[in-house]
Each structure stands twice: as structure tokens, then as C-alpha cells.
Structure 1
């Protein structure tokens, strides 16, 4: 198992838009493509309260490439992303992405 930690650093004022997009479209499309989420978080105390943090679980890097590639190319995703940005422009200013491998003592393996 490998885990992917993704942090979406939102354009100021746009965090509610990305939360809505994940809640109404993205998570459903993740399920459609077999993408397993570990969890989603917003920052209550920390560097930025306009970040969305989430973690995905993959069988392998090849599994990630296959499933995330299919998600990214899905016409429904492409249209939903464009629609969500039509009213106020881009939602995400930048993305921080890390691929994590569990240690021998991690409860997540």
C-alpha cells in the first residue's frame, strides 16, 4: 500500500468552492474510478485556513497512475471542474503532493 497526501492551497475565498466540488462531484467520481479516500480535512489551526488536505490509498504507484489518469480524463470531471471555475475563476492556487509509504509500526499498512 502507498498513500498520497494532497494539499490544495486555495485562492483566497475559494475554499468553500473546492469543498462543494468534492462533496457534490469529485468524491463520486473517485468512487467510479476505484479511488479510495482515507480522509479529508480543513485546517483549524495551522499555516493556512484556506487549505484542503486529503489522503488517498493506492495498491501501488501503477494503480495510482491507472486510476488517477482515468479520473483526470473523465469528461464528467473535466466539465465539472470547468463549471465550478466559471463563476469565480480558478479555485486552487497550488497543490502540494507527497507519496507516502507506511513504516513497519504504522497502523495503516
Structure 2
């Protein structure tokens, strides 16, 4: 199992719009494509309170490539994403890392 950590730095004041998009659009489409989330987090203490960090669980890089590619090309996602930014951009920056658990990790 590998994990992907994604951090979204929002345009100031737009974190609520990003959270709404995940709750009402993104998660439903992920379910359709078999994408497994491993947790969502907002920043309580840290550099910015305008961030969303989440983890995805993948069996392999090949699974990620196949499922993520299908997700980003999904017409329902493209339409929902476009509607969610109709009143302004939401995300200023995205950072993604693919992580491999260590032999002694409690998460495998």
C-alpha cells in the first residue's frame, strides 16, 4: 500500500468553498472510481488556516494512475469543478507527495 498526501492552499477566505466541493461533489465521484480516502484535515495550528490536507490510499502507482486519470477526466467532475469556481478560484496551490510506509509504521 502507498499513500498520497495532498495539501491544498486556498485563496484567502475560500477554504469553506473547497470543503463544500469535497463534501458535495468530489467524494461521490471518487466513490464511483474506487478512490479510497484515508483522512481529511484542516490546519488548527500551523503556517496557514487556509489549507486542506488529505491522504489517499493506493495499492500501487499503476492503480493511482488509472483511477486518478479517470477521475480528472470524468465529465461530472469537470462540470462540478467548473461550477464551484464560478464565483472565483478556490485553490492557490496544490502539493502532492506519494508516500511509502516504513517497516515500523503502524499504517501499512
Query: Could you say which TM-score interval applies, normalised by the shorter chain?
Result: over 0.9
Runs of 4+ in 1 over 4 A off after TM superposition: none
Q: Partners of 1:43 and 1:62 in 2: how far apart?
A: 31
Unmatched runs of 5 consecutive residues or more in structure 2: none
RMSD (CA atoms): 0.5
- State the SS of the aligned residue for 1:86: coil
Q: Partners of 1:78 and 1:15 in 2: how far apart?
A: 20
1:23 corresponds to: 23
1:80 corresponds to: 80
TM-score norm. by structure 2 comes to 0.98
Q: 1:107 deviation in Å?
A: 1.3
2:73 matches 1:62: no
Q: Partners of 2:102 and 2:13 in 1: how far apart?
A: 37
1:42 corresponds to: 42
Q: 1:90 deviation in Å?
A: 1.1
2:72 matches 1:90: no
TM-score norm. by structure 1 comes to 0.98
1:4 corresponds to: 4
Task: Give the paired residue count.
Answer: 108
